[in-house]
Amino acid sequence: MDKLSRRAFLRMGAGLVGAAALSRTVFPLFAEKETEEWTPPESARVSFLRGELLVNGASADLGDVLKQGDRLETLARSEAEIEVRDYALFQIKANTVVDLDDILGTPDIKVRKGWFLIIVKKMKVMNVSTPMVLAGVRGTVLFFNVLDDRKMYMCDCNGTVDLSDASTGQKLKTVTSYYHKPFNFRLGKDGLKMTPAGMLYHDNRDILEMSDRFPVETKMFEGKY
């Protein structure tokens, strides 16, 4: 990657020009930062860590390289951010379990339980799965909170996501969002139900804090998101 003296990085936020403009362009803010040359990991690595992160049951450190097939688990009062090649950055908070099923081809990440926020680079495609839902993610800011094997919350914060039933493979819905479209999922006797929801478990601060760290840890989001 050629060294560039300036890069533009995603700044998430809204409200500068009122609700009408917000409906047209939701996360419009970009900040240009002076950065050093950045080399993406060949697979994935830990780019931010507060508290304790376990990788395959062993404590991980900031900067550790992660491999395909690794299982990540955050302990109580912990959070971590993981950069996946030049594709994406995701954050997990306390008591979350994530499997890196495939990070060498089209990345495929499985959220087994807990709090998960991912920002996928524009023009990139990833798969994120949970016990109930398969999500095909395209240039998206996406949030999951997997409560258990039968209850889950999802918010398409910005971008497009194709949703399918994890047990049957049947397509549920394609969601395109400019500003937070949240849903509850519940698995019952009649199958998987998807219903609109309000804003829960996360807010814009979570996205802003993660994007604020792009120039420090990842430097991957060149240009406009």
Whether residue 223 is contained in a domain is answered as no
On whether residue 225 sits in a domain, the answer given is no
Is residue 120 assigned to a domain?
Answer: yes
Per the structure, the complete domain to which residue 190 belongs is given by: 6-217
Residue 1 lies in a domain: no
For the cut 80, the answer to whether the pLDDT of residue 12 exceeds it is no
38: in domain:
yes
In a domain, 77, yes or no: yes
CA–CA separation, 36 and 22 (whole Å): 33
pLDDT given for residue 10 in this prediction: 38
DSSP state at residue 181: E
Q: Tokens representing 172? A: 């549920």
Rounded distance between C-alpha atoms, residue 23 and residue 88, angstroms: 25
| Predicted model pTM | 0.81
Three-state DSSP class for residue 210: helix
- Name which of 196, 162, 161 is nearest 182 in CA terms: 196
Distance CA 215, CA 213 (A): 6
Is residue 38 within 8 Å of residue 219, measured between CB atoms? yes
The number of folded domains in the chain is: 1
| 64-108 per-position pLDDT tens digit | 999 999 999 999 999 999 999 988 899 999 999 999 999 999 999
CATH number of 131's domain: 2.60.120.1440
Classify residue 222: in a domain, yes or no.
no
pLDDT (tens digit, 9 = 90+) per residue, 27-43? Answer: 332 233 344 566 788 99
